[in-house]
Structure 1
Amino acid sequence: MTKEVNVLLKSERRSDDVIALRPRETVCQHGVGAATDQELLQIILRTGTAKCSTSELASLLLHHFGNLAFLSRAGLTELTQFSGIGPTKAVELQAAFELGRRSLRQMQLRQGVVVSSRLLGQQMVKKFRGCQQEQLVVVYLDTKNQVIQERIVFTGGLNSSVAHPREIYHYAVLLSAARLICLHNHPSGQLTPSSHDLAFSKRLVQCGELMGIDCLDHLIIGHDNYLSLREENLL
């Protein structure tokens, strides 16, 4: 390779580095809210390839998926089909979008009080949509029904060998919670409570009565709807 070609390639790489830094400069000077979708993607992607700069790669992704909402749902296989996106960069993209989703959910929960099982159930239907593993979540509340914390307590079916109320109330005591709402999803989409669901719920209420911490409800979350054991007089 000639000296002239070497100089040209180094110059091109420096030029691409300058382009990659511009979004960061925008954020530093004007705040992250001033950056465009493409610039935010460039910051996450960090580097392009010899044939495709970071700016071009970010533009290509947005053009292919249409917008950030569709891009945020892309799987690893779909992302790694693009030149310049390997498994590591694909995981980083997914992690960034997941952080955004989680922060939004937490902000929404803390904007007010839990006023009804219906509103909480509708919110959790959206949260668990697409989840293929059963999870038990507890929403811990203060005396005014303000959310203290939303916590995944168990992963797996609610049988006696896995789930036990003591773990749930352990966190309730640590958080100084006055009330709680328990909920878990059924990946099958079926809302009918199992015998384990009913037995677990009854033990949960009984333990709460002994400890002076109210178990307000137990929700079962399906694909498009939810079931409240309290509303069905099963709690």
Structure 2
Amino acid sequence: MEQILQPMKDLPREVAFKYGIGAASDQELLQIILRTGTATQPLAEVAASLLREYENLAFLSLASIDELRTFAGIGSIKAVEMQAAFELGKRAQQQSQLRQGAIVSSSMIGLRMQEQLQGCHQEKLIVIYLDTKNQIIQQKTIFVGGLNSSVAHPREIFHYAVLLAAARLIVVHNHPSGKTTPSQNDIQFSKRLVKCGEVMGIECLDHLIIGAGQYLSLREEDLI
């Protein structure tokens, strides 16, 4: 949709009420989220300045709280609210995509997770829980931080597997460095997951490492 960087005749909320939220421009959506401007910076100008700086919503969605706070009219609370709105949209899209059909290969997950974790500067461990037909039950972020941390333990992963009555699972984590070479911690952790799964009757199908525009399957590399 073409961006409109000037105030419209109708206020943003009026546009949404009359025509539906999908009819609102990028600027109008930002105005709805931001709600107010300042005495010297009208709301429409605050939203327009964001779009001028970041060109499109994809870039804006990656802005940090500190970066957002540099704009007149945006404090800590508004910056967090903007990030929350982008995160909700991201999660809704991820869950919609992942619930379409069965997982038939590691590459299917690898390509999808490349998109989801693109630009992520924190290491995250995500588990995709599957039923007996390899249909996705749920995708859940289990840990934030390196796998050498004491918090990265199989019990948390299998705790949710039992709650969800999952038959199988796929573990995914990203390397913010962009490289997919597995560390010894990655390999040892994966082997522990496989052994735990064998005991519990919940198969760990694979462990994928996501890098910059690429992924590595520990199963395909015969590392687990």
- Normalising by structure 2, we get a TM-score of 0.86
Q: For the Cα contact (< 8 Å) 2:180–2:209, is it kept in 1?
A: yes
Distance 1:88 1:108, change over 3 A: same
Query: What's the offset of the Cα at 1:121?
Result: 1.1
1:63 and 1:161 map into 2 onto residues whose CA distance is 44
Q: Do structure 1's residue 203 and structure 2's residue 192 form an aligned pair?
A: yes
1:15-54 correspondence runs (5 A): 22-54=11-43
Q: For the Cα contact (< 8 Å) 1:20–1:46, is it kept in 2?
A: no
Query: What's the offset of the Cα at 1:21?
Result: 8.2
1:58 and 1:96 map into 2 onto residues whose CA distance is 15
Q: For the Cα contact (< 8 Å) 1:165–1:203, is it kept in 2?
A: yes
Distance 1:20 1:88, change over 3 A: farther
2:192 and 2:83 map into 1 onto residues whose CA distance is 39
Distance 1:203 1:20, change over 3 A: farther
- Residue-by-residue CA offset, 1:132-157 (whole Å, 9 max, x unaligned): 33222110011121111111222333
Q: For the Cα contact (< 8 Å) 1:20–1:54, is it kept in 2?
A: no
Query: What's the offset of the Cα at 1:160?
Result: 7.8
4+ long deviations beyond 6 Å: none
**Which of 221, 231, 235 is residue 210 of structure 2 equivalent to?**
221
1:180 and 1:108 map into 2 onto residues whose CA distance is 17
Q: Do structure 1's residue 149 and structure 2's residue 144 form an aligned pair?
A: no
Query: What's the offset of the Cα at 1:66?
Result: 2.4
Q: Do structure 1's residue 67 and structure 2's residue 56 form an aligned pair?
A: yes
Question: How many pairs align?
Answer: 217
Distance 1:44 1:176, change over 3 A: same
Aligned counterpart, 2:3: none
Q: For the Cα contact (< 8 Å) 1:183–1:218, is it kept in 2?
A: yes
**Which of 93, 110, 117 is residue 99 of structure 2 equivalent to?**
110
User: Percent identical across equivalent pairs?
Assistant: 64
Runs of at least 5 residues in structure 1 that lack an aligned partner in the other structure: 1-18
Aligned counterpart, 2:124: 135
**Which of 86, 90, 98 is residue 87 of structure 2 equivalent to?**
98
**Which of 192, 197, 201 is residue 212 of structure 1 equivalent to?**
201
Which has more helix, going by share of residues? 1
Query: What's the offset of the Cα at 1:47?
Result: 0.9
Greater Cα shift, 22-31 or 139-148: 22-31
- Normalising by structure 1, we get a TM-score of 0.82
What RMSD over aligned residues (CA atoms) do the two structures have, in Å? 2.3
1:81 and 1:119 map into 2 onto residues whose CA distance is 39
1:65 and 1:132 map into 2 onto residues whose CA distance is 19
1:113 and 1:220 map into 2 onto residues whose CA distance is 21
> Max radius of gyration: which structure?
1
Runs of at least 5 residues in structure 2 that lack an aligned partner in the other structure: 1-7
- Residue-by-residue CA offset, 1:69-102 (whole Å, 9 max, x unaligned): 2322333343333322222222222221222122
Query: What's the offset of the Cα at 1:30?
Result: 2.8
Task: Report the residue type matching 1:201 in the other structure.
Answer: S
**Which of 140, 163, 167 is residue 174 of structure 1 equivalent to?**
163
Aligned counterpart, 1:11: none
Task: Report the residue type matching 2:11 in the other structure.
Answer: R
2:78 and 2:149 map into 1 onto residues whose CA distance is 41
Distance 1:160 1:231, change over 3 A: same
Q: For the Cα contact (< 8 Å) 1:189–1:222, is it kept in 2?
A: yes
